[in-house]
Chain A
């Protein structure tokens, strides 16, 4: 059917309700979370086997005919899928303890597995409609996961806004797909590329380009279409926020760059300039709005928008250096942002508030979590020995090498702006005097701390020894550019 990891995830998604029905007694409830974690570990092992197979064969294609659905797995797909499964595994392990007071955990784990399966399918797709099918799977599960805590009004409002904007984006992608089908008669990526090569660059190609950027940009948090993000990410449960910010938003960017590079090769200079303008706008809006926030998760949501601006800047350079830097930054951002969101979730779990003014000085009662949050904030502020510095430096260097000096200077200005609010975060959490609210906190249980410790350790390891990870990103970039 599909490849082994995707098969495993889909079968797990379908069998989780059976397990949920069997374990209805209160003392057996933890089995559901452990089943999800175990299943994701098995998927990670299968993905590793697939990685070995792809790295010796180049890419795996199962495309028979130009009008058949197919999967096309190359190093970029494996790279992204590795990130998804790793963050999904850690988020599922974290949510065993975090979500224990909620009802409906069977549906929660079903939807979580479905979301990771959908994202993996988006990266494995070789045909435009297959990508759309898995895109819908990913989107549908994320709508329900954002609106999961339906007893309060805020997740419902955030979920409705997210649903309307994201569904409109999906419809725009479908319209762009129809125009591409009309021009070439097929929806297979490779065949569209050859078919469009014979079509002279005409107006309809620009219309399709606009629709593609709008449609994928809604999910990838490009600035005029980002307004769902600052509402949806704080209101989702913390492990889902980590998954949304760390992997779902970069999936939009991945799909965008995959389609743009494969299909629109003939008008490359046009979409490079367009993406460049959008990237700079995204960076500025994200950073400037984050300076004004008092809610810790909303601040992290705006910082996601800014980081997506950096990633899009690297994609718009479209050279090997730029793509390597962006892909490496996607991996680093997934790790760092998940770390920050899981720590923020730990604070919310213990104290019950997201307001930074009330969370001041919580280091005195929750020392381990605050130190891990400090590591994450230092990493994402691009301070040298940690991993954020290497990837952002690579993107800036790629911009300088591609003769885009003013844009690289703008990116450096944005990084300095972001240092301001990350250092404010560390100052408030670590160095201020504790408020009465933060004095009542206790340290989180160990099963919630282990995923956070693993993420912080990864930050430090990648920062000190980035070699093998950069090599992996470079293999992925070479596969995308067809080198």
Chain B
């Protein structure tokens, strides 16, 4: 890698930016949301109990999409 002036300036800027942002992150406390209860899995439970047919059919659609891509991207004839 040739070290011309632009590259030196760019690298210095990146290193300075990383240093400044990491000092900011460490000095300010992140207000994480500590919830006392566990995360409810409502949508997942709903999907699993009531929409099972659609979910299994969706798995087959994903398989068919993969088969489509393989069919179009196959190696082709080498005569």
Task: Report which A residues bind B (CB closer than 8 A).
Answer: 1-2, 10, 13-14, 17, 64-65, 67-71, 103-104, 107-108, 110-111, 114, 117-118, 121, 129-130, 133-134, 136-137, 140-141, 143-145, 147-148, 150-151
Stretch binding the partner chain, chosen from B5-13, B14-22, B27-35, B48-56: B48-56
Q: Are B53 and A151 in contact (CB under 8 A)?
A: no
A118 CA / B61 CA spacing, docked (Å):
9
- How near does chain B come to A146, taking the closest CB pair, in angstroms? 10
| A71-B53 contact in complex given A103-B76, A107-B74, A151-B76, C-beta closer than 8 Å | yes
Q: Are B71 and A144 in contact (CB under 8 A)?
A: yes
| A69-B76 contact in complex given A104-B71, A114-B67, C-beta closer than 8 Å | no
* Pick from B58, B60, B74: contact of A14, CB under 8 Å: B60
Q: List 6 A-B contacts (CB under 8 A).
A: A2-B53, A68-B49, A68-B50, A69-B50, A110-B67, A114-B64
A141 CA / B65 CA spacing, docked (Å):
7
Task: Report which B residues bind A (CB closer than 8 A).
Answer: 49-54, 56-58, 60-61, 63-65, 67-72, 74-77
Q: Are B71 and A69 in contact (CB under 8 A)?
A: no
* Pick from B51, B53, B68: contact of A111, CB under 8 Å: B68
Q: Are B54 and A133 in contact (CB under 8 A)?
A: yes
Q: Are A13 and B64 in contact (CB under 8 A)?
A: yes
| A107-B57 contact in complex given A14-B63, A150-B76, A151-B77, C-beta closer than 8 Å | no
Q: Are A107 and B52 in contact (CB under 8 A)?
A: no
Q: Are B68 and A144 in contact (CB under 8 A)?
A: yes
| A17-B71 contact in complex given A69-B54, A133-B61, C-beta closer than 8 Å | no
Q: Are A103 and B74 in contact (CB under 8 A)?
A: yes
Taking A114-B64, A137-B64 as given, write out 20 further A-B residue pairs in contact, using a Cβ cutoff of 8 Å, ordered by the A residue number: A1-B53, A1-B56, A13-B63, A64-B50, A68-B50, A70-B53, A71-B53, A103-B74, A104-B74, A111-B67, A114-B60, A114-B67, A129-B54, A133-B58, A140-B68, A141-B67, A143-B68, A144-B71, A145-B71, A148-B71
Query: Chain A residues near B57 (CB, 8 Å)?
Result: 121, 130, 133-134, 137
Query: Chain A residues near B64 (CB, 8 Å)?
Result: 13, 110-111, 114, 118, 137, 140-141
Query: Chain B residues near A1 (CB, 8 Å)?
Result: 53, 56
A2 CA / B67 CA spacing, docked (Å):
22
Q: Are A141 and B68 in contact (CB under 8 A)?
A: yes
Q: Are B60 and A69 in contact (CB under 8 A)?
A: no
A370 CA / B74 CA spacing, docked (Å):
35
Closest to A71 in B: B53
Closest to B64 in A: A114
Query: Chain A residues near B67 (CB, 8 Å)?
Result: 17, 107, 110-111, 114, 141, 144
A286 CA / B69 CA spacing, docked (Å):
33
Query: Chain A residues near B69 (CB, 8 Å)?
Result: 144
Closest to A132 in B: B54
| A111-B71 contact in complex given A13-B60, A137-B60, A140-B65, C-beta closer than 8 Å | yes
- How near does chain A come to B41, taking the closest CB pair, in angstroms? 17
Q: Is chain B's binding surface mostly helix, strand, loop or mixed?
A: helix
A2 CA / B49 CA spacing, docked (Å):
15
* Pick from B53, B54, B60, B76: contact of A117, CB under 8 Å: B60
The 8 A-B residue pairs with the shortest CB-CB distance, nearest first, are A107-B71, A144-B68, A68-B50, A69-B53, A104-B74, A114-B64, A133-B57, A69-B54
Q: Are B53 and A130 in contact (CB under 8 A)?
A: yes
- How near does chain A come to B68, taking the closest CB pair, in angstroms? 4
- How near does chain B come to A155, taking the closest CB pair, in angstroms? 10
A143 CA / B64 CA spacing, docked (Å):
11
- How near does chain B come to A223, taking the closest CB pair, in angstroms? 29
Query: Chain A residues near B70 (CB, 8 Å)?
Result: 107
- How near does chain B come to A19, taking the closest CB pair, in angstroms? 13
- How near does chain B come to A250, taking the closest CB pair, in angstroms? 21
Closest to B65 in A: A140
A149 CA / B50 CA spacing, docked (Å):
41
Closest to B73 in A: A150
Closest to B63 in A: A14
| A130-B54 contact in complex given A10-B60, A136-B61, A140-B61, C-beta closer than 8 Å | yes
A68 CA / B69 CA spacing, docked (Å):
32
Query: Chain B residues near A17 (CB, 8 Å)?
Result: 67
Query: Chain A residues near B74 (CB, 8 Å)?
Result: 103-104, 107
Query: Chain A residues near B53 (CB, 8 Å)?
Result: 1-2, 69-71, 130
Q: Are A144 and B77 in contact (CB under 8 A)?
A: no
Query: Chain A residues near B63 (CB, 8 Å)?
Result: 13-14
